[in-house]
Every structure is written in structure tokens, then in C-alpha cells.
Chain A
Amino acid sequence: MPIAAGAVGSMSPICADVLQVTALIVALALVYRPFGDYMAAVFASPKHLRVERWIYKAIGADPDAQMRWTAYLRGVLAFSAVSVLFLYLLQRVQNHLPGSLGFSAVSPAQAFNTAMSFVTNTNWQSYSGETTMGHVVQTGGLAVQNFVSAAVGIAVAIALVRGFARSRTGDLGNFWADLVRCVVRILLPGSFIAAIVLVACGAIQDFGTWHHLTTLAGDQQAMPVGGVASQEAIKEFGTNGGGYFNANSAHPFENPNAFTNFFEIFLILVIPFSLTRTFGTMVGSVKQGYAILAAMGIIWLIFVIFMSWSEFAHPGAALHAAGGAMEGKEQRFGVGSSSLFATSTTLTSTGAVNSFHSSFSAFGGGIALLGIMLGEIAPGGTGSGLYGMLIMAIIAVFIAGLMVGHTPEYLDKKIGSREIKFAASYILITPALVLIFTAIAMALPTPIHSAANPGPHGFSEVLYAYTSAANNNGSAFAGLNANTDWFNTTIGICMALGRFLPMVFVLALAGSLAEQQPVPATAGTLRTEKPLFAGLLVGTVLIVTALTFFPALALGPLAEGLS
């Protein structure tokens, strides 16, 4: 839908990029309040829709029964375990399924990896979509997990928010109700609208078989098919990121033009950012939500600026030879829109790509990597971003709270040794997974053979793979051939531990907070809704992450970028 043809070259790419970022911020700001409040209302509403009642009946669950954190956790784990098993089996019997497009069953290691990947909202892909997965697995398996894994993340975040909002109770809500409501009232309507917009702009929705045609120059070309638009919508909206095709959102059928690109970035960011409003509304102080939003927004903007700066400057021998950082980028997006997408996808748990991070400048790739290392909290994945940032807020409150001479409190809840135990365990998990798995892979002789690039970049590929897996991002320095038994298995384990262990601690924390009686704020209490605290939170996030990963980053992107 190209328009404004007369504007060719009338504006510098950097200027256009600034305007694009501004437009994105405005768009997100416009929906922030209504959408955030709507989500809060969804989870607070005592009423059930008729369709939801049918679903509860089918599940056999009482949606009004309150769950303690252990019950909530059991629900999360049981549902996820069943999902992994189901998705694994679906891939393993693909050759017997209708609409398989002639593809064979997926190998055990790859099926395990893919099942883990989609259930954990990671959507790491060691397969190539167009030659591996048929209609049923894509639409009935992978896309379903795009919905429910996002919903599980949001449900856990809402449970934590309830932990702050409630007192003298262990009840955190009902997992089944939160899951179903999130799918039915938030993800489905949003995705439906988004899918129609995408299809109108050129994303395909075709359940036929591949078209074979003769090109203008007389070659043979095969044209892929699939329920791409419907899957693309939830892939971005649920911060999943698993591409229908290997090229992911760089593929013209997934992301046909610069507007859909803008729209997809919007979809990626809208739930994570708006959830801070939901949080503020539910804890009874929208200002608290603004502080979290501000911290997320500041980090996001800093990363966008650094990423764009690095990509426009295109340091590095190869990029210098080319005269620009366009390797692995699409002409219709250019450097600006690609940088914006890359930042947004790595700062959320999305991992969709519209350009290939491995060919980004060393610092650009490093920023993508660092974005994931932050734990995807700015704004992070659906739900996981909010709970990740709240955990960081607890750490920040603890240190800062001591500095004002008070036992630290956050949202009127005391941050004592129990809370710190859970929060500290949470922040320990992903760095531990990343570093341990990367170290083992580097210490073994064979895994590094998967790397397509020599030197520090080769190391970055392995580091990126485990960082992406442990933080449930799913994007890659795709030079790495991850379809080996080693990578399929270890990355699969890494994704599962990186998803569910943190959830255990989040829910335990939620339970602990909900049991407390609130401590009224006084002038001696740290004001967590103030800009000072938002700034402190940004500092805490950046310093804690930088300190953890500085040595690894020095040997990867820094060594490459400073050479």
C-alpha cells in the first residue's frame, strides 16, 4: 500500500526514524490507559461470559475457587506439562496428520526443542518453518501455544499483582479463570483485529497447498501458503516470535511493508507496556504503574537510540565495505525500522526478527544481546516483563529502602528476608543458566562447530543462543546451526528452567506478599511512585546485568566492536 511517492529522498533516514519512534510512542500512549484499564477490569470482573462458562464446564474447573500460590503454581505447571507433551506428540505424528503438506515427522530432539520453545513463550526455532511444519502443527499446535503461553505469563503476573494488592489472605485468584479470560477477552479479540489488518496489508491466510509458478524470467518458483496472518498477529501480540517461515518477520508474507512492520512493533509492545497500567489500577495507585512504565520506557528508549546509532554508523569491516548495515535487512524496512524492531523484540520476550541480528554491527548485536540479558523487562514479555521488572523493583527498594533508614517496603508490603529470598533466587536463575550452559558448550569440542562465524562473533553466537533460551526470547545470532542434538536438547532444557523456575519464585513471592498485612506509607517511606525511584530502578537493572555479563560481553561483542 505504498503512498506518498513524491516524498522520495525528501527526508534523511535518521529524521524519518526519529519520527517513526515518536509515532510509535504516541500510538502506545494512546492505548495505554484504556487498554490497561480494560485488562485490569478483565481480571477483576466477577462475571463470566457465556463462552467462558462453557469452557469451564469442559475443563471441569470452578472459576470462582480461590487458589493459594501452590495451587496456582500446580495449575501452571500441569497445563504447561500437558502442553509440552501434546505439542511434542503432534510433531512426532505429523506425517499422519491432514494438511501436513507432505512433511515428515519432526525428529525427537527437534520436536522436544520446539515443544519446549513454544510452551515457554520462547519460540526459538531450530527448524525452518516452510520445510518442516504443516498446517495442523503450525495452526493447531504452535499458534495455540502462542496464545496460551502468553496467557500463562500474564496470569502469573496478575497473581503477583494480586499479591501486592491483597492482604491477610493466601488467595491469588484462579489460574483457569485467569488463563481463559486472558485468551478469550484479551488475546483473541486483539489478535483477530490485528490479523485482519495484516491480511489487508498483504499477509497471507491460505490453507491450500503450495503454488508452483513460472517466473517472469522463466524460472520455476514455489509460493508458500499457510495461516500466516492469524499466526503472525498472536506471534507479536503475545510476544512469542516464532516465525511461520524461516525468515520470520523479514519474510514478505509475514511482514509485507513498512506499515505492517510498524504495526507489528506496536503489537509486540502494547501488552507489556499497558500491563503497567493494569498493575497500577489493581494496586490502587496508577502512579506506581507509571513509575514502572517510566523505568521500562527509559531503558527501551536508551536501547533504541544506541541500537539505531550503531546501525546507522555501521562500524565493522564488512559493513564498512558495503557502505551501510544492510546485510540481513530488508529494503522496505531499511536501517531505522530494522533497529527499532530488533530493540523491541529483544527487550520483550518476542524474538521475532525482521532483520538478522548476526549481521548487525558488533555493538548493535551486543545491544540486542544485552537487551535479552536484562531479563526482558523493558517492557518484557506478556506478563513476564511485568513480573520481572517488579522483582527488580523489589531489589531496588530493598537497597534504597535501607538507605532511608526503614525496613524496605514496596506498595505497603514489607520486603523482608522471605521476599528477598524469592527475589534473589529469581534473579539468580537466568544468569546461572546462560553462563553455565554457554561455558559447557564452549568447553566441549564440538558445539562450537555449529558457529558460522570465526573469532569473537562465533562465541557471541553460542552466548546469544543460551541467553535467548534462558530468557525465553527466541531470537538468534542465526549463524549458529542449532539443529544438533546437543543444542536442541540443552536449549530445550534451558528454556524450560528459564521459564518455570522463575515462575515458582514469583508465585511464592506473591503468596508471601498476599499474606502480609499492609504497612501504611509515611513520610519516612521510600516513595516508589517518584521519578527518583524510576531512575534508581533503571540504574539497578543496568548495573546488576552489566556486572553479571561484563566478562562474557567483553569477549564477544566488545572484543569484536573495539577491534
Chain B
Amino acid sequence: MNNSVRNTARLTWAALRALLVLTVVTGVIYPLAVWAVAQTAFHNQANGDQVTVNGKVVGSSLLGQNFNLPLRKGQTTPAPDPKWFQPRPSVAGSGGYDPTASGASNLGPTNPKLAQTIEQRRAQVAVFNGVSLSAVPVDAVTASGSGLDPDISPQYAQIQVDRVAKARHLPVAEVDKLVQEHTNGREFGILGEPTVNVLKLNIALQKLAG
């Protein structure tokens, strides 16, 4: 009995030492080594691919953001600003695109609430961009997984061109060209789906508008 207690104690002590040593190796040395390499060789990426406009950081190219009009009195949700390309719906945080609350709706495929929300979004997007209901692509009516999706589909960008050009008094062709330039195909031609990075497109748009 006494012996087994001593054995257990010795074993536990060995286990604790093993954990502490491995914590030093994998929890201190390893992340710091990665950090050192990352900060030297891939400084920009390691810090979130920050995008600057006029020397000021306006966001990360990897994190989506809202392009809304300021909240007016009596409004609970701000209206989208027609001068910008709009991102996908987001349920991260109360207003969307809140990096402190990344996540998805988790509503089920047969959930009536989700179906209803989708119908509402479709109607809203169609009206906002002046297109038919059927022209609204799927990414425009569904919330992304992270709630921080920086991208939209080329189709969604396409249906926004007219509206943006009109709001900014720019020739449609130029805006359209901008979208084409910011459209990325699948990685290596086969991975994922084609995307348009909304922040980068909007920065280019701002530059174009002057």
C-alpha cells in the first residue's frame, strides 16, 4: 500500500516534469522560433497583411469589413453605402464583421428562420443593386463561416458595378475594369473558388475616384 502510494507519487512527479519540459520545448521555444522566422522573413504576413491608405492602416486584406452609411436616428441596422462594393452578409458581432466575435449563424438547412432571412437578403440585394431576384448570387444572401470573409464572388461584384459607378459618377466600364483586375481565379486553377477581395477593390475604387 505504502509502496504503491510512493510509486504513484514518483510517477506523477515524472509526468509533471515531462509536461513542464515539453511545455518549454513546444510552448515556448517552438512558437518563438516560428515567430522569429516569421517576423524576419514574412513580416507583412505575420502581422495580418495590414493595408495602408495614406500611411494609415485601414484594415487587413484578410479580414472583411463593413461599408455602411453612418447609423441614422431611428435605425437599428445601418444601411449599406452605395458608393462601396458590399461584402457578404456577416453574423460576426451585432453589426457584422466584428473580429472579436468571429463565427457563423449555424442555422440549419431546413430552418424556416434561415430561409426567411435569405429571402429578405435576396430582396434587399436585388433592390439595392437594381437587379432581378434571380441575378443575386448565393454568396450575397448567405453569411460566411467566419463572419469575416474578405471576399465576394465575381458574380456578386459584377451586379454591384452599375450601382457603384452610378453612386460615384464613374464610367461603368472603368469600374468594370477594376473588378476584372481584382478578380482572382482558383488557386493553381483548381483550389477553392474565384474571389474578389472587397477591401482591395474598394481601395482601388477610392483611388480611381480620387
Contact = CB atoms under 8 A, between A and B. Distances in A.
A/B contact in complex, CB under 8 angstroms: yes
Interface of A: 1-11, 13, 16, 19-20, 23, 55, 58-61, 74-75, 78-79, 81-83, 86, 128, 130-131, 139-141, 143-144, 147-148, 176, 179-180, 183-184, 187-188, 191-192, 195-196, 199-207, 211, 213-219, 221-225, 227, 229-231, 233-234, 245-247, 250-253, 256-259, 261-262, 314-338, 353-356, 358-362, 365, 452-455, 457, 460, 477-479, 560, 563
Q: Which of B16, B48, B65 has the most CB of A within 10 A?
A: B48
A286 to B, nearest CB: 31
A13 B59 CA distance: 30
B196 to A, nearest CB: 8
A205 B25 contact: no
Given A131-B100, A327-B107, A478-B104, A250 B21 contact: no
B18 A176 contact: yes
A59 B45 contact: no
A317 B109 contact: yes
Given A215-B65, A365-B109, A452-B107, A4 B188 contact: yes
Given A141-B27, A324-B142, A61 B105 contact: no
Nearest to A319: B109
Nearest to A457: B108
B201 to A, nearest CB: 11
Chain A to chain B: the 8 pairs with minimum beta-carbon distance, closest first: A258-B192, A316-B109, A334-B193, A2-B184, A250-B145, A324-B138, A247-B102, A457-B108
B177 interface: no
B143 interface: yes
Given A139-B31, A324-B138, A560-B108, A332 B151 contact: yes
B99 A361 contact: no
A349 B31 CA distance: 23
Contacts of A246: 101-103
B195 A560 contact: no
Interface string B141-155: 111111111111110
A256 B18 contact: no
Nearest to B69: A217
Interface string B111-147: 1101100110010000000000000011101111111
Nearest to B197: A2
B38 to A, nearest CB: 4
Contacts of B77: none
A217 B102 CA distance: 20
Interface of B: 8, 11-23, 25-28, 30-31, 33-35, 37-39, 41-42, 45-50, 53, 56-60, 62-63, 65-68, 70, 81, 84, 88, 92, 97-112, 114-115, 118-119, 122, 137-139, 141-154, 183-195, 199, 202-203, 206
Given A9-B154, A207-B35, A327-B142, 13 more contacts: A7-B185, A130-B99, A140-B27, A144-B23, A147-B26, A214-B56, A215-B66, A217-B81, A223-B60, A223-B99, A247-B146, A453-B106, A478-B104
A454 B202 CA distance: 40
B199 A224 contact: no
Contacts of B31: 139, 143, 205, 227, 230-231
A215 B95 CA distance: 14
A333 B150 CA distance: 12
A479 B108 CA distance: 8
Contacts, number: 415
A247 B148 contact: yes
B64 to A, nearest CB: 8
B58 A261 contact: no
Nearest to A221: B65
A207 B39 CA distance: 11
* Chain B binding surface, main DSSP class: mixed
A202 B21 contact: no
Contacts of A10: 185
A335 B193 CA distance: 8
Contacts of A224: 99-100
A359 B104 contact: yes
B115 A318 contact: yes
B83 to A, nearest CB: 9
A188 B111 CA distance: 44
B195 A332 contact: yes
Given A223-B99, A560-B110, A139 B27 contact: yes
A206 B45 CA distance: 10
A336 B49 CA distance: 26
Contacts of A227: 31, 34-35
A223 B48 contact: yes
B49 to A, nearest CB: 6
A359 B108 contact: yes
A252 B150 contact: yes
A76 B46 CA distance: 36
Contacts of B111: 318, 453-454, 457
B177 to A, nearest CB: 13
Nearest to B35: A205
A55 B53 contact: no
A78 B193 contact: no
A323 B125 CA distance: 14
Given A331-B88, A355-B145, A7 B27 contact: no
A332 B35 CA distance: 26
A179 B107 CA distance: 41
A32 to B, nearest CB: 21
Contact of B18 (A130, A179, A204, A322): A179
